[in-house]
């Protein structure tokens, strides 16, 4: 049993679009910190399956000599060729809105929606960037900031291709973000979905009584302390909480339907009922577009850009040849006219 039931209750009572086991892990990390035991970054990463700080774009280009994908330290500069770079933005671990929230509850492996948004804007404004890849491996997170980021991504795909690479999990809030991309690619064995929103009311009143504690709320406003953890949840409070969750779920499913180009009912009554779906089944259900690795996705985008450049060069060459032929024909006609005038 938790040593700080009121603390756990405070964490879980907010709306989350996350897999339940990960939310419990967050509460455990916070409780250990209160106990005076501070987990190392490695221990937090092991507990939550998180990796490294992310949200800032990494840039890749294609070495035309070797055919290898090479990372770049920075974005474009004055001498860069337009549209030759792929921006990869990692979305790993627990998702939270602010960078400080990520550091506090998720450790170095979490993702700030604000950082992703900032990286997205920079990549869109960068003339050297041809495409953007969201490299996703996340169980989801808090709903705050997710809808705003999803809207930005949906708008961005009208400017440049934005590919969501599921590598290897895009659940809950992470799928909300992924569904707004131009295309979703799932790595072999990857999972997507867990569409849903939930909150949890934890009644710790008996545990508090057993500990010999008593909490008295002094409040103003009829509903100010509604749903607190120190008394059973009333039916009125339960209805209010359900209404809020339903509203978030409506936002979630509407955005998924918009991004995937399917009716809302298909999401609500089909793949949007809370389960994760594996690679092939996800493609069949139109939750994803195809199966592929991050490496193949980046190479595909670069090849696509290279082919477009070749076609444009060929078209330019063909246009130049046609222009030369027209100019030559015009010279011939002028010469013929001058010849006739001389007679």
What does the DSSP assignment read for 82-129?
TT-EEEEEEEEEEEESSHHHIIIIIGGG-EEHHHHHHHHHHHHH-TTE
Q: Bin 93: left if φ > 0, else alpha if -120 < ψ < 50, else beta.
A: left
**End-to-end distance of the chain based on CA atoms, in angstroms?**
112
Torsion angles phi and psi, residue 278, rounded to 5: -85, 150
DSSP class of residue 269 equals I
Q: Which residues of 313-343 are buried (b: 16+ CB within 10 A; e: fewer)?
A: eeeeeeeeeeeeeeeeeeeeeeeeeeeeeee
Q: What is the pLDDT of residue 129?
A: 93
pLDDT of 313 > 50? The answer is: no
d(CA 142, CA 94): 8
- Per-residue pLDDT of 13-49, as tens digits, reads 777 777 777 777 777 777 777 776 666 555 555 555 4
Could you tell me the pTM of the whole model? 0.75
89 has pLDDT over 90:
yes
Contact between 170 and 204 (Cβ < 8 Å): no
pLDDT of residue 99: 66
pLDDT at 230: 93
The domain segmentation of the chain, as residue ranges, is 5-304
The answer to whether residue 190 scores a pLDDT higher than 80 is yes
Span 177-204, mean pLDDT? 96
Q: Dihedral of the CA atoms 148, 149, 154, 156 (nearest 10)? A: 120
Task: Give the residue with greater pLDDT, 70 vs 94.
Answer: 94
Band (pLDDT 50/70/90 cuts) for residue 343 is very low
- How far apart CA 48 and CA 143 sit, in angstroms, is 18
The whole-number average pLDDT for the span 282-308 is 87
- 83 in the Ramachandran plot: left (φ > 0), alpha (ψ -120 to 50) or beta? left
Please state which of the ranges 243-252, 264-273, 294-303, 326-335 shows the lowest mean pLDDT. 326-335
Q: What size, in residues, is the chain?
A: 343
User: Is 5-304 CATH 3.30.200.20?
Assistant: no
- Please give the average per-residue pLDDT across 265-274, as a whole number: 96
Say if CB 113 and CB 148 are below 8 A apart.
yes
Check residue 196 and give its pLDDT. Answer: 96
The CA distance from 163 to 88, in Å, is: 9
Distances in whole angstroms, Cα of residue 342 to Cα of each of 329, 331, 332, 333, 336: 20, 17, 16, 14, 10
Angle between helix 20-34 and 5-12 (nearest 10) = 140
How confident is the model at residue 74, as a pLDDT?
55
pLDDT band at 332 (very low <50, low <70, confident <90, very high): low
C-alpha torsion angle, residues 184, 128, 303, 70 (rounded to 10): -90
């Amino acid at each position: 049993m938790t040593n700080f039931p009121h603390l756990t209750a405070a964490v879980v009572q907010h709306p989350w679009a996350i897999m339940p086991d990960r939310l419990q892990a967050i509460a455990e990390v916070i409780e250990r910190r209160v106990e005076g035991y501070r987990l190392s970054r490695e221990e937090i990463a092991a507990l939550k399956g998180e990796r490294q700080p992310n949200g800032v774009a990494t840039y890749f280009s294609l070495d035309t000599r070797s055919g290898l994908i090479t990372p770049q330290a920075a974005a474009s500069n004055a001498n860069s060729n337009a549209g030759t770079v792929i921006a990869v933005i990692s979305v790993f671990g627990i998702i939270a809105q602010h960078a400080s929230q990520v550091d506090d509850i998720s450790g170095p492996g979490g993702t700030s929606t604000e950082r992703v948004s900032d990286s997205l804007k920079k990549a869109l404004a960068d003339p050297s960037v041809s495409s953007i890849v969201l490299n996703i491996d996340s169980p989801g997170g808090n709903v705050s900031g997710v809808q705003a980021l999803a809207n930005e991504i949906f708008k961005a795909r009208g400017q440049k291709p934005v590919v969501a690479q599921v590598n290897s999990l895009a659940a809950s809030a992470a799928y909300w973000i992924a569904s707004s991309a131009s295309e979703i690619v799932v790595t072999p064995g990857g999972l997507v979905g867990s569409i849903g929103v939930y909150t949890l009311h934890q009644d710790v009143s008996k545990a508090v009584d057993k500990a010999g504690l008593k909490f008295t709320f002094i409040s103003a406003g009829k509903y100010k302390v509604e749903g607190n953890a120190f008394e059973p949840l009333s039916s009125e409070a339960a209805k209010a909480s359900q209404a809020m969750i339903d509203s978030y779920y409506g936002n979630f499913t509407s955005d998924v339907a918009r991004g995937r180009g399917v009716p809302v009912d298909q999401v609500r009554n089909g793949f949007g009922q809370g389960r994760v779906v594996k690679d092939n089944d996800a493609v069949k259900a139109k939750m994803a577009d195809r199966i592929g690795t991050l490496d193949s996705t980046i190479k595909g985008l670069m090849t696509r850009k290279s082919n477009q450049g070749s076609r444009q060069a060929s078209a330019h060459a063909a246009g130049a040849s046609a222009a030369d032929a027209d100019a030559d024909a015009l010279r011939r006609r002028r010469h013929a006219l001058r010849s006739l005038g001389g007679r």
